[in-house]
Amino acid sequence: MEFSSKLLERAVNEVSQLPGIGKRTALRLVLHLLKQPKEQTTALAEALQNMRNDVKFCKSCHNISDVDLCEICSNPNRDETLVCVVEDIRDVMAIENTSSFKGLYHVLGGKISPMDGVGPHDLNIISLVNKVKEGRIKELIFALSSTMEGDTTNFYIFKQIQDYKVFTSTIARGISVGDELEYADEITLGRSIVNRVPFESSLKI
Amino acid sequence: MEFSSKLLERAVNEVSQLPGIGKRTALRLVLHLLKQPKEQTTALAEALQNMRNDVKFCKSCHNISDVDLCEICSNPNRDETLVCVVEDIRDVMAIENTSSFKGLYHVLGGKISPMDGVGPHDLNIISLVNKVKEGRIKELIFALSSTMEGDTTNFYIFKQIQDYKVFTSTIARGISVGDELEYADEITLGRSIVNRVPFESSLKI
């Protein structure tokens, strides 16, 4: 792709480094900005830089936060004996949206994935194990993706903490609400039968 | 969508103002930037701001350029009597890629579209008509999209310049190279038969 302007070319190249955005999409986005008032580009550029330079991670759960201890960790109404282990902050947002969890989170920052060069020491696992060692956590809920990498990470953490007195659980796998049974894959369907729940408890939510 | 950080929220809101990018995609892009070195975000922000603040438009053809007169307009080897009228600079790039056009361009900056509030005076039409009045242009090629808006724009310009001595043409509509005849729409197929070309000339490209 040949550009008539170096400034345009540099902008397109930078935007196309974002995941899932190719050169054509980048050009479309950049030309859109050119048609908008200058203030929009300034606001976008400043928002990105401020975010990148000033954003903090909660020192306890590693969630993104503007202060040292995030709103969830510093909320006295939340149950600090119940900790949900998730991959990244999008999972925190998704679970918070359900309003069904009143404990704290621990954000790992990814999954163990040798193929992508991510080992246990690249994730926030040591601080989680230390929290367990302190003995205040009663239950640890694993809420990672149901993939090989997710299962590996669950198991790695489980091995690290199995000698300490903590109950570990994992989120239920089963048929999604609204799904047709006949289209479910057999592993999910099998698990949903093995891990069936009393009918009365299913009426609560 | 609730965010644990105002900085993150502002960045996501700004990114999601780009066309075709929703809040979820914006969050994914912003979290990606957080995992990359700070330099990448700085480079992106600076490239966008420099582009928006410093980019120029060629004073003759309105193409994006770093100098007053773009490389194409200032190239003495190009035929200045032949001018191709296009919607935006992506069309210039697309035609330049074919290496089959050696004239100059005129970038309108859009199409006449009352539905979107774009009238003739929002486009670079007056400067085009003035160029025709000066009398140096022998042929004007309309290369707008084959839509109602494109046809309207073609016709509006044609009415403005029909009293001046200039030959007007429009790019050929027909079956795309590699297309199956049976899947072509009937208007395209009809036009490709009416506007058939001598077989020998089709061997040249």
- How far, in Å, are A152, A180, A194, B136 from residue A186 at the CA level? 21, 13, 12, 74
Cβ–Cβ gap B48/A30 under 8 Å: yes
More confident residue, A65 or B196: A65
Residue A33 one-letter amino acid = L
Residue A104 shares a structural domain with residue A167: yes
The bridge status of strand B64-65 relative to strand B56-57 is antiparallel
A183 in a structural domain: no
Spatial distance between the Cα atoms of A157 and A129, rounded to a whole number of angstroms: 8
Q: Which of B4, B48, B93 has its CB closest to that of A89?
A: B4
Spatial distance between the Cα atoms of A159 and A128, rounded to a whole number of angstroms: 13
- Quick one: pLDDT at residue B205? 56
Domain range spanning residue B141?
A: 71-171
Average of per-residue pLDDT values in chain A: 90
- How far, in Å, are A146, A179, A183, A185 from residue A189 at the CA level? 14, 11, 10, 6
| CATH code, A34 | 1.10.8.420
Residue A92 shares a structural domain with residue A151: yes
Residue A19 shares a structural domain with residue A96: no
Residue A167 shares a structural domain with residue A122: yes
Share of chain A above pLDDT 70, in %: 99
- How many other CB atoms sit within 10 Å of the CB of residue B100? 8
Chain B from 77 to 136: CB within 8 A of any A CB: 88-90, 92-93, 96-97
Residue A77 shares a structural domain with residue A153: yes
Residue A100 shares a structural domain with residue A44: no
The bridge status of strand B103-107 relative to strand B64-65 is unpaired
Instruction: Say whether pLDDT at A4 is over 90.
Output: no
- How many other CB atoms sit within 10 Å of the CB of residue A82? 17
Average pLDDT of B152-180?
A: 89
- The predicted-structure confidence for B43-92, as pLDDT tens digits, reads as follows 999 999 999 999 899 999 999 998 899 999 999 999 999 999 999 899 99
Residue A104 shares a structural domain with residue A157: yes
ipTM: 0.81
Chain A from 1 to 40: CB within 8 A of any B CB: 1-8, 10-11, 13-15, 17-21, 25, 27-34, 38, 40
Contacts of A17 in chain B (CB under 8 A): 40, 44
Mutate to test the interface with B, among A10, A12, A16, A51 (most CBs of B within 10 A): A51
Full DSSP string of B168-203: EEEPPP-PPTT--GGGS-HHHHHHHHHT---HHHHT
Which strands sit side by side in the sheet containing B167-170, from one edge to the other? B103-107, B79-86, B139-142, B167-170
A203 in a structural domain: no
Full DSSP string of chain B: ---S-HHHHHHHHHHTTSTT--HHHHHHHHHHHHHS-HHHHHHHHHHHHHHHHH-EE-TTT--EESSSS-TTTT-TTSEEEEEEEESSHHHHHHHHHHT---EEEEE-SS--BGGGTB-GGGSTTHHHHHHHHHT---EEEE---SSHHHHHHHHHHHHHHTTSS-EEEEPPP-PPTT--GGGS-HHHHHHHHHT---HHHHT--
B31 in a structural domain: yes
A110 in a structural domain: yes
Residue A99 shares a structural domain with residue A126: yes
Spatial distance between the Cα atoms of B99 and B72, rounded to a whole number of angstroms: 13
A12 in a structural domain: yes
Residue A157 shares a structural domain with residue A95: yes
More confident residue, B197 or B6: B6
Assign residue A80 a region (left: φ > 0; alpha: ψ between -120 and 50; beta: otherwise).
alpha
Number of domains, chain A: 2
Residue A43 shares a structural domain with residue A78: no
Residue A44 shares a structural domain with residue A85: no
A180 in a structural domain: no
- Quick one: pLDDT at residue A175? 83
CA of B193 vs chain A CAs: smallest distance (Å): 33
Instruction: Say whether pLDDT at A112 is over 60.
Output: yes
Instruction: Say whether pLDDT at A99 is over 80.
Output: yes
- Quick one: pLDDT at residue A205? 56
Instruction: Say whether pLDDT at A28 is over 60.
Output: yes
Question: B179: pLDDT confidence band, cut at 50, 70 and 90?
Answer: confident
The bridge status of strand A64-65 relative to strand A56-57 is antiparallel
Among all chains, which residue has been given the structure tokens 């509006």?
Answer: B156
Spatial distance between the Cα atoms of A4 and B93, rounded to a whole number of angstroms: 8
Average pLDDT of B97-122?
A: 91
- CA nearest A187: which of A178, A176, A174? A174
Mutate to test the interface with A, among B1, B3, B4 (most CBs of A within 10 A): B4
Give the least confident one: B25-34, B36-45, B150-159, B183-192. Answer: B183-192
- CA nearest A51: which of B27, B36, B18, B30? B30
- Residues paired with residue A85 on neighbouring β-strands, in sequence order: A106, A142
Angle at CA B142, nearest 5°, toward B140 and B143?
A: 135
| CATH code, B135 | 3.40.1360.10
Cβ–Cβ gap B8/A41 under 8 Å: no
- CA nearest B173: which of B154, B160, B158, B157? B154
A64 in a structural domain: no
- Quick one: pLDDT at residue B2? 81
Contacts of B51 in chain A (CB under 8 A): 5, 7-8, 10-11, 30, 33-34, 41
Cβ–Cβ gap A66/B6 under 8 Å: yes
Average pLDDT of B94-112?
A: 91
- CA nearest B146: which of B176, B117, B125, B119? B176
- The predicted-structure confidence for A175-194, as pLDDT tens digits, reads as follows 888 888 888 888 888 888 88
CA atoms within 13 A on the CB side of B115: 4
Torsion on CA atoms B18, B23, B29, B31, rounded to nearest 10: 140
A205 in a structural domain: no
- CA nearest A70: which of A82, A79, A78, A62? A62
Among all chains, which residue has been given the structure tokens 């990470």?
Answer: A153
Residue B93 shares a structural domain with residue B120: yes
